[in-house]
Amino acid sequence: MTGGTPASALTEQDAVAELARLAREIADADAAYYQNDAPSLTDAEYDALRLRNAEIEARFPHLKREDSPSLKVGAEAGDGFAKARHGIPMLSLENAFADDDVADFAARIRRFLALPTETELACTAEPKIDGLSLSLTYEKGRLVRAATRGDGQTGEDVTANAKTLSDIPAKLAGKGWPDSIEVRGEVYMAKDDFAALNVREGAAERKVFANPRNAAAGSLRQLDVEITKSRPLRFFAYAWGAVSAPFSDTQSGAVELLGKWGFVTNPLMVRVLTVEEILAYYRDIEARRAGLPYDIDGVVYKVDRLDWQQRLGFVSRAPRWAIAHKFQAEKATTTLLGIDVQVGRTGSLTPVARLEPVTVGGVMVSNATLHNEDEIARLGVKPGDVVEIQRAGDVIPQVLRVVKAGKGPAWTMPDVCPACGSAAVREMDEAGEMDVRRRCSGGLICPAQAVERLKHFVSRKALDIDGLGARQIELFFEKGVVHAPQDIFRLRKNIEAAGLPPLEEWDGFGAASAKKLYAAIDARRTPEFARFLNGLGIRHVGQTTSGQFARGFLSWQAFWYAVQRAAEGGPGSEGYQDLTGIDGIGDAAARALVQFEAEPHNREMLEALLSEVEVADEAPAATDSPVAGKTVVFTGTLERMTRDEAKARASALGAKVAGSVSAKTDILVAGPGAGSKLAKAESLGVRTMTEAEWLALIGEA
Ligand code: IVH
């Protein structure tokens, strides 16, 4: 199975081909072993493949692939850790790239909090460590649990592993810590330690790591704790999650306390007062970046006052009170070999550059996105050109510019779908603007779209069906047993009806994995509202929007009834207003839902799907709040806070914030200058109140 030529005698061309083959074979073997519980190779065969891959990579380090098996360390251990739900979700940060983005950040906060210009907006500034975040729960001062970030809500329980880090105290020092606290920070590996580890691993003919971050992640997520213990991992504490009692008034004060309780905190953290000071700090750290003992990928700013952090709250997955100011992305130059066209689940065609493999920031890149045909025209790029590409963090690499034009002919986007041959067209949107994307018009007949939609439906952010990934979907689709989402729940019947042998007898399945897959599918027969809606893959109705609808409507029936009425009544109808009245929902989402509902085949699909599953109701947020589930409208001038803050606060308390008054409105909060909305509310008999009465109602007077 492994190539016959010794690695030392391979040509570079052969090495490229063999690394590709090895990546594929090892991934297949991993899937058979981990996802299907049905090993396709003996241990010795498997080890031989990995060893061969390591040998070739050692000889041609620059050929290491993005998907190299040597980079996928510990990822396969995913199933082995218990799940751990975070007390408070672990969020991500919004990114700033330009100085202006930082100025906007400060201005946005000032506007939200209505800070007068003379009021200082103090922030902390600190390096953004390129590692992996970890949440440590301490009960009565003792470390009881360590969890990785995971999807933000639920991570993996790596308590035993975390206990091996000397930077993580098993018991809190000092005094004054809350009885219960989630301490958060970054696990990382210092550059020197990383280099030494790779020398050791290489000498032992084991896989080497692409960069310190991968090494840190791979070392922490080891089922064998002894391996973690042998790895030089470090930890900086910089934040916290759920706490039983507040312990500081400021971010800087809180971090100082974390230091007193025994954590290592970043000595480069400072407190800054103006945007100019922030930017000066950024440039200073950027200049020192290469000399720091650990990798960083930017600087993080956080509002220092915790009462302001509280008021600012969150937007979808990131706090309004913090931002990451990223450093310039890493760039490289290479030859563009060809342009492939991929078909997405909404039929959009994406041109993807196939590249002569090149390392960018320690990772081998062989593909980069070209976004759309306008981008290709703008860049003037064609196969054969030498191009500059960039890769920033985990985002897909992109082509930046042509460095040297080749001799080849210009490239044109196909006007038929490469998967189904239907016309691929660019549409005009409502505002008369040409869509930048060309879309396959094949709709349901396009196999590429159907498969991508199914993959999306079962993906982690949607129904999250264990063991049902891209490869299985492709297989079931190809065998004709899964065409549409409902077929997943009829898999056993469909296999039987197709006259195929039971799944237990399929290659790569086996009794155990078939049983596991059916159980995983059954476990999703009562999907969460937001996941279910996101899974339908309706344009403009993604994860965030689906969550907003779920929190706004709570029950699927109520939501879909509004969609149906919106489809009947059109824009402006009450049903339509019920949709757009949800905070954060705009016309695009409402229109897309109406269009979806108007298609008979979508209605049929949904009906069939709902005969298989029952969408669970969303639990109302903050049920103890007197305004939970109430529809609230704000009008007129507010005096104690800005309109944005009032709306954000109301949503956080579980209220539904609407923009216009209707018979559905429960409360109208009217400040001075209120006009037509107040009149309408009064005519409809809606309860109206002043800002002071509202604050009294929510207990914040
Ligand atoms: S604060 C609610 N501070 O960056 C804000 N994050 O892009 C919580 N990170 O998931 C994060 N250094 O893993 C914060 N000094 C720092 C950080 C930092 C690295 C990571 C962290 C987070 C990610 C967001």
193 near 232, Cβ under 8 Å?
yes
Q: How far is the centre of ligand 1, averaged over its atoms, from the C-alpha of 565 (Å)?
A: 43
DSSP reduced 3-state for 633 = strand
Write the single-letter amino acid at 4: G
Residues 6 or more apart whose Cβ sits within 8 Å of residue 61: none
DSSP reduced 3-state for 673 = coil
Q: How far is the centre of ligand 1, averaged over its atoms, from the C-alpha of 462 (Å)?
A: 25
Q: Is the pLDDT of residue 434 over 60?
A: yes
Q: Given this model, what pLDDT does residue 27 score? A: 81
**How far from the centroid of its chain's Cα atoms is residue 521's Cα?**
23
pLDDT band at 361 (very low <50, low <70, confident <90, very high): low
> Which residue owns the Cα nearest ligand 1 atom 15?
128
CATH topology for the 7-72+330-404 domain: OB fold (Dihydrolipoamide Acetyltransferase, E2P) (2.40.50)
> Which residue owns the Cα nearest ligand 1 atom 17?
128
Instruction: Work out the angle at residue 392's Cα, subtended by the Cα atoms of residues 386 and 397, and round it to the nearest 5 degrees.
Output: 45
Q: H/E element holding 658? A: strand 656-658
What is the sign, positive or negative, of the torsion defined by CA atoms of 71, 76, 82, 88? positive
Nearest alpha carbon to residue 615 among 680, 689, 558: 558
Q: What is the pLDDT of residues 134-153, one digit of tens each?
A: 999 999 999 999 999 988 88
Q: Which of 90, 94, 95, 128 to mutate to test the pocket of ligand 1 (most atoms within 8 A of CB)?
A: 128
Q: Given this model, what pLDDT does residue 34 score? A: 53
Least confident of 14-23, 103-112, 333-342, 529-538: 14-23
List 363's β-bridge partners, or say none.
360
- Angstrom distance (rounded) from CA 487 to CA 465: 14
pTM across the whole model: 0.58
Least confident of 34-43, 158-167, 257-266: 34-43
Q: Given this model, what pLDDT does residue 71 score? A: 63
> What is the number of other CB atoms lying within 10 angstroms of the CB of residue 47?
11
> Which residue owns the Cα nearest ligand 1 atom 10?
92
470 near 455, Cβ under 8 Å?
yes
Q: Is the pLDDT of residue 78 over 50?
A: no
Q: Is the pLDDT of residue 322 over 90?
A: yes
Q: Given this model, what pLDDT does residue 393 score? A: 60
Q: Is the pLDDT of residue 511 over 60?
A: yes
Q: How far is the centre of ligand 1, averaged over its atoms, from the C-alpha of 2 (Å)?
A: 42
- Angstrom distance (rounded) from CA 528 to CA 613: 11
Q: H/E element holding 243? A: strand 234-243
512 near 38, Cβ under 8 Å?
yes
Q: Given this model, what pLDDT does residue 80 score? A: 79
Instruction: Determine whether 488 is exposed, middle or buried from the number of CB atoms within 10 Å of its CB (0-12, 13-18, 19+).
Output: buried
437 near 447, Cβ under 8 Å?
no
Q: CB-side exposure of 23: number of CA atoms within 13 Å?
A: 17
Write the single-letter amino acid at 273: L
- 533-545 CB burial, b ≥16 within 10 A, e <16: bbbbbbbbbebeb
Q: How far is the centre of ligand 1, averaged over its atoms, from the C-alpha of 339 (Å)?
A: 36
Q: Is the pLDDT of residue 696 over 60?
A: yes
pLDDT (mean) for 287-313: 94
- Angstrom distance (rounded) from CA 318 to CA 398: 25
Catalytic residues: 128
> Which residue owns the Cα nearest ligand 1 atom 16?
128
Q: How far is the centre of ligand 1, averaged over its atoms, from the C-alpha of 149 (Å)?
A: 11
Q: Output the CATH code of domain 529-610.
A: 1.10.150.20
Nearest atom in ligand 1 to 133's CA? 13
- Angstrom distance (rounded) from CA 66 to CA 12: 17
Q: Given this model, what pLDDT does residue 47 score? A: 67
pLDDT (mean) for 628-657: 87
Q: Given this model, what pLDDT does residue 210 score? A: 75
At residue 108, φ and ψ (nearest 5 deg) are -60, -40
Q: H/E element holding 603? A: helix 600-610
SS3 annotation, 557-574:
HHHHHHHHHHHHHCCCCH
Least confident of 406-410, 488-492, 522-526: 406-410
Q: What is the pLDDT of residues 519-530, one digit of tens each?
A: 999 999 999 999
CATH architecture of 83-325: 2-Layer Sandwich (3.30)
Q: How far is the centre of ligand 1, averaged over its atoms, from the C-alpha of 185 (Å)?
A: 7
> Which residue owns the Cα nearest ligand 1 atom 18?
128
> Which residue owns the Cα nearest ligand 1 atom 23?
92
Quickly list H helices, 250-290. 251-260, 275-288
Q: How far is the centre of ligand 1, averaged over its atoms, from the C-alpha of 547 (Å)?
A: 23
Instruction: Determine whether 122 is exposed, middle or buried from the number of CB atoms within 10 Å of its CB (0-12, 13-18, 19+).
Output: middle
Q: Which of 92, 135, 317 to mutate to test the pocket of ligand 1 (most atoms within 8 A of CB)?
A: 92
254 near 240, Cβ under 8 Å?
yes
17 near 60, Cβ under 8 Å?
no
Q: H/E element holding 534? A: helix 529-535
DSSP reduced 3-state for 347 = coil
212 near 190, Cβ under 8 Å?
yes
Least confident of 155-164, 198-207, 446-455: 198-207
Write the single-letter amino acid at 72: K
Q: Is the pLDDT of residue 39 over 60?
A: no
Tell whether domain 631-697 is in CATH 3.40.30.10: no
Q: Given this model, what pLDDT does residue 75 score? A: 35
> Which residue owns the Cα nearest ligand 1 atom 13?
133
Nearest atom in ligand 1 to 149's CA? 10
Q: Which of 91, 123, 234, 238 to mutate to test the pocket of ligand 1 (most atoms within 8 A of CB)?
A: 238
At residue 545, φ and ψ (nearest 5 deg) are -60, -40
- 163-178 CB burial, b ≥16 within 10 A, e <16: ebbebbbeebeeeebb
Q: Are strands 95-96 and 322-326 parallel, antiparallel or unpaired?
A: parallel
Nearest atom in ligand 1 to 269's CA? 15
pLDDT (mean) for 148-166: 93
Q: Given this model, what pLDDT does residue 633 score? A: 93
Tokens of 14: 């052969």
- Angstrom distance (rounded) from CA 444 to CA 686: 46
CATH architecture of 443-522: Orthogonal Bundle (1.10)
Q: Is the pLDDT of residue 37 over 50?
A: no
Nearest atom in ligand 1 to 126's CA? 15
369 near 68, Cβ under 8 Å?
no
- Angstrom distance (rounded) from CA 587 to CA 569: 15
| Average pLDDT of the residues of the chain | 90
- Measured torsion, CA atoms of residues 439, 443, 449, 453, in degrees rounded to the nearest 10: 120
DSSP reduced 3-state for 157 = strand
Residue 259 to residues 52, 238, 618, 647: CA-CA distances in angstroms?
46, 10, 40, 36
> Which residue owns the Cα nearest ligand 1 atom 1?
239
Residues flanking ligand 1, CB < 6 Å: 91-93, 126, 128-129, 133, 186, 238-239, 300, 319, 322, 324
pLDDT band at 76 (very low <50, low <70, confident <90, very high): very low
- Measured torsion, CA atoms of residues 254, 256, 258, 260, in degrees rounded to the nearest 10: -140
At residue 112, φ and ψ (nearest 5 deg) are -60, -45
Nearest atom in ligand 1 to 322's CA? 5
Q: Given this model, what pLDDT does residue 73 score? A: 38
SS3 annotation, 467-489:
CCCHHHHHHHHHCCCCCCHHHHC
Quickly list H helices, 163-211. 191-203
382 near 411, Cβ under 8 Å?
yes
> Which residue owns the Cα nearest ligand 1 atom 21?
133
Q: Is the pLDDT of residue 660 over 60?
A: yes
User: What's the full length of the chain, in residues?
Assistant: 701
- Angstrom distance (rounded) from CA 161 to CA 138: 16
Residues 6 or more apart whose Cβ sits within 8 Å of residue 450: 444, 477, 483, 484
Least confident of 539-548, 619-628, 665-674: 619-628
Q: Given this model, what pLDDT does residue 622 score? A: 61
Q: Which of 93, 97, 123 to mutate to test the pocket of ligand 1 (most atoms within 8 A of CB)?
A: 93
Tokens of 470: 């891209």
Tell me whether the CATH fold assigned to 443-522 matches the one assigned to 529-610.
yes
- Angstrom distance (rounded) from CA 537 to CA 609: 14
How large is the C-alpha radius of gyration of the chain?
Answer: 28
- Angstrom distance (rounded) from CA 384 to CA 338: 7
Tokens of 77: 């251990």
Q: Given this model, what pLDDT does residue 31 score? A: 66
- Among 164-178, 325-339, 362-376, 384-398, name the most confident range: 164-178
Q: Are strands 667-670 and 687-689 parallel, antiparallel or unpaired?
A: parallel
Q: Given this model, what pLDDT does residue 623 score? A: 62
Q: How far is the centre of ligand 1, averaged over its atoms, from the C-alpha of 329 (Å)?
A: 18
- Estimate the share of the chain in helix, then strand, then coil, as percent rounded to the nearest 5: 40, 20, 40
Cα distance from N-terminal residue to C-terminal residue, the chain = 74
- Angstrom distance (rounded) from CA 468 to CA 454: 10
Q: How far is the centre of ligand 1, averaged over its atoms, from the C-alpha of 548 (Å)?
A: 25
Any idea where the domains of the chain sit in the sequence?
7-72+330-404, 83-325, 443-522, 529-610, 631-697
Q: Given this model, what pLDDT does residue 151 score? A: 82
